[in-house]
Amino acid sequence: MTKQAAKLSTRIADTIMRQCREDGYHPYPLERWAYVPGMLLMAMARAGAQLGDDRYFDFMRLHMDYYIAEDGTIGTYSLEEYNLDQINQGKNLFMLLERGGDARYAKAADTLAAQLIGQPRTSEGGFWHKKIYPFQMWLDGLYMASPFLAEYAKTFGRPELTDEVAHQLLLIERRARDKRTGLLYHGWDESREQEWADSTTGLSKNFWSRAMGWYAMAVVDCLDHIPVAHPKRGTIIGIFERMCHALVRVQDPASGLWYQVLDQGDRKGNYLEASGSVMFVYAMAKALRLGYLSGGFREAVLKGWNGILERLVTEDADGVHLHHICNGAGLSKDRNGTFDYYISEAVVSDHYMGIAPLLLCSLEMERLLETPQGEFA
């Protein structure tokens, strides 16, 4: 297959493979056990499964084995940090187990599940984002932890943990949703002590694109593992569709993309941001394929995908590139959640924060575009 004939997902995965050292390791996942490397490994493994190319799955396995010792301990990971970000890479353990992986992968999964079972919580049982962020729930954390816990519950027969997943998804949506726009604020501080938190509601000040992208992906990925008969499943699908309507309302009509601060596209300094846009298209495309959304969303998904391809993606001799990625954002004393803060963060190209969801999104779009439109009633 020539480069021109290959699917975009193949071209992205091959771009990543070409960045590996001679020993097969990619420098980025070797830095530490963390959420973005974990997402990159998961995207590659999914590409291997969908495209029928074991090289991509073996890429994931090689880098996971770098961290998972024979006794199941995880290198560079500390349970006592109670950091939801550290759960995300554990999603790859289930694919390893499905491929006949040994007991050390199950032991590592048990360790990560133990963290979540003991995770510090708000008064309503919401996971703190990190031990060092007391009484704070962030949208980001729902993606980091909830799909892992949902798959763990299904794999190891722990239905009470499925109930926990549903509780986390519904609680943050109830607490973070703005009734006027339907959008979700980035974070919520139950104690109302943080400088970024509203003194009455405890909510942060703005709707950050990637934060909502994390949550949108969390919902559709959790639904893969929540049984059809679960009493909260329909509610989760319902709030997801309500949220998608809100996202379509702030989709830029000219480009099909989404702004860094979602509802302030006409404000000076705001920009069309790649990672959030890619995450929204991924989540809605997957939801269309699985019937969580009606076919009426297909137009918005296709418009978003075309905007990504036309405005954000380029290709050259080095492979596929993604541009206009927010390098990172959070909430703290120095990251106060204002509009000026969000637009002040560096904007970069080719960060794996954007490349990994782009690969996931391309896989979903390829499946969607191969599905006759009439199947989405």
Which residues are identified as catalytic?
140
E strands, 202-350, in order? 313-316, 319-322, 325-326, 347-348
Residue 41, phi-psi category: left (phi > 0), alpha (psi -120 to 50), beta (remainder):
alpha
Give the residue from 140, 89, 139 showing the smallest Cα distance to 111. 89
Alpha carbons 233 and 254: distance in angstroms, whole number: 35
Amino acid found at 345: E
* Cα dihedral 58→60→62→66 (10° resolution): -170
On whether the CB atoms of residues 112 and 87 are closer than 8 A, the answer is: yes
Torsion sign, CA atoms 64, 212, 110, 75? positive
Angle (CA) 126-134-91 rounded to 5° is 55
* Beta-sheet pairing, 187-189 with 347-348: unpaired
**Residue 266: CB partners within 8 Å, gap ≥ 6?**
none
- Tokens 């918005």 -> residue: 300
